Amino acid sequence: MTALLKTALTGNHAVAYAVKMAKPHVIAAYPITPQTTIVEKLAEFVERGELKARFINVESEYGAMSVVYGAAMAGARVFTATSSHGLLYMYEMTWWAALSRAPIVMAVATRTIGPIWNIHVEHNDILTLRDSGWLIAMAETAQEAFDLTIQAFKIAESAVLPVSVGIDGFVLSHSTEPVEVPPQEVVDSFLPPRRADVPLLLRPGEPITFGNLPSDNRIHARYKIEAVYRAQQEAKDVVVQADREYGKLTGRSYGGLVEWYRAEDAEDVVVCAGAWCSDAKRAVDALRSRDIPVGLLRLRFIRPFPTEEVKRLSQYRRAVVFDRDITPLGGVLGVELKAAVPDAEVVNIVAGIAGVDFDAEAFYRVISNAVEGRYRGVEFVV
């Protein structure tokens, strides 16, 4: 490995630098807070000639997703970024893209969905992708935002599925942290050029049709099962492999789909995803220093869902699942973990939604209550 650049970047700029080093052909963007500084930085790179990409300003997020979809289907490496209502506005196209197996990479600076208007962090936006076929990754730090974005291109183009990289709005998107940027040749050796013929080759003079009505609904059913279910299962190996290979090249590996933290001898395990896992880890450390045996499971990927990995939760007394999102049934991760590990005792804490501050101290307090058995089912902490 040649000279490393150690620098200070916001989460959003870490994503922008990673995208630049992945050398996409086409970037489409529409402004939305707190995503905007990602594409502003990329526009600057393109303007200054540091990145030879087509940068397309569009009339809406629906247009952004449509542009990168078309470009990906034509064989280009593509990127877009969004947040909150922007993601909901492009929602129709996100499903069409996933079922077309379009290898799109999209950063989602996660943000609350209204009403009322609120620009602060929440995970409900990115989690709307969970049934669509998209992969969903969640970064913990600006460094991981960088690393995940590079990995996302490899994963998207190997698994032939779109990948979203979640970075917590403001908490991560606008906080500056030290980031190690690998040399370009390391990224180049990790990321081979995009294959233009997968999922299909769309070229003048070569008749091929995609997306017309099926002659037999069973053909459609089989194809959908392959696109949604089987492709997600196959993507698990791709994610693990990419993380391992990236680790060999850069010295940074995160454990693949999940990261276990001080869980070996734990009695209770905290489960969470995103930037607040750092706060949760600090709370775990503090509890450990008082001989309270808690560990942590960080979901790096929510799709593909790490079914095999989370099965281990049944070995512990209790899983304390933190959700920064809310559904009529509780939190998304709480509901999903209960379904995936029915024999585990799951306590679901819904906290920090709508950008309500939830720091290491709050984690400490709530985890303490949970290990003392004060919570049952779903608990809301505001």
Binding site for other proteins (CB under 8 A): 25-26, 28, 53-54, 56-60, 62-64, 66-76, 78, 92-93, 96, 196, 202-215, 219
Take residue 149 and report the two structure tokens written for it.
Answer: 């974005």
Strand-strand pairing, 346-351 and 268-272: unpaired
Residue number, 78 or 148, with CB nearest to other proteins: 78
User: 91: buried, middle or exposed (CB in 10 Å: 19+, 13-18, 0-12)?
Assistant: middle
Residue number, 97 or 187, with CB nearest to other proteins: 97
DSSP state of 344: S
In three-state secondary structure terms, 381 is strand
Give Cβ neighbours of residue 137 (< 8 Å, ≥ 6 apart): 148, 151, 152, 163, 164, 165, 166, 300, 301, 302
Whole-number minimum distance, CB 355 to other proteins, in Å? Answer: 30
Residue number, 96 or 375, with CB nearest to other proteins: 96
Residue number, 211 or 342, with CB nearest to other proteins: 211
Closest Cα to residue 239, out of 259, 261, 256?
A: 256
Closest Cα to residue 258, out of 318, 293, 302?
A: 302
Place of tokens 């909901």: 88
Q: State how far the Cα of 333 lies from the Cα of 327, in Å rounded to an integer.
A: 10
Residue number, 65 or 258, with CB nearest to other proteins: 65
Residue number, 188 or 361, with CB nearest to other proteins: 188
Closest Cα to residue 371, out of 293, 298, 277?
A: 293
Q: State how far the Cα of 376 lies from the Cα of 366, in Å rounded to an integer.
A: 13
Whether the link from the prior residue into 304 is cis, omega within 30° of 0, is yes
Question: What angle separates helix 11-22 from helix 142-159, to the nearest 10 degrees?
Answer: 40
Residues present in the chain in total: 382
Whole-number minimum distance, CB 22 to other proteins, in Å? Answer: 14
Q: State how far the Cα of 11 lies from the Cα of 173, in Å rounded to an integer.
A: 4
Whole-number minimum distance, CB 252 to other proteins, in Å? Answer: 30
Whole-number minimum distance, CB 161 to other proteins, in Å? Answer: 18
The number of beta carbons lying within 10 Å of the beta carbon of residue 110 is 32
Whole-number minimum distance, CB 46 to other proteins, in Å? Answer: 12
Residue number, 58 or 292, with CB nearest to other proteins: 58
Take residue 324 and report the two structure tokens written for it.
Answer: 């920064």
DSSP state of 130: G
Residue number, 14 or 27, with CB nearest to other proteins: 27
Whole-number minimum distance, CB 71 to other proteins, in Å? Answer: 4
Whole-number minimum distance, CB 223 to other proteins, in Å? Answer: 9
Residue number, 178 or 192, with CB nearest to other proteins: 192
Is residue 346 a contact partner of residue 263, using CB atoms and an 8 Å limit? no
Whole-number minimum distance, CB 227 to other proteins, in Å? Answer: 14
Whole-number minimum distance, CB 128 to other proteins, in Å? Answer: 17
Whole-number minimum distance, CB 55 to other proteins, in Å? Answer: 9
Residue number, 63 or 334, with CB nearest to other proteins: 63
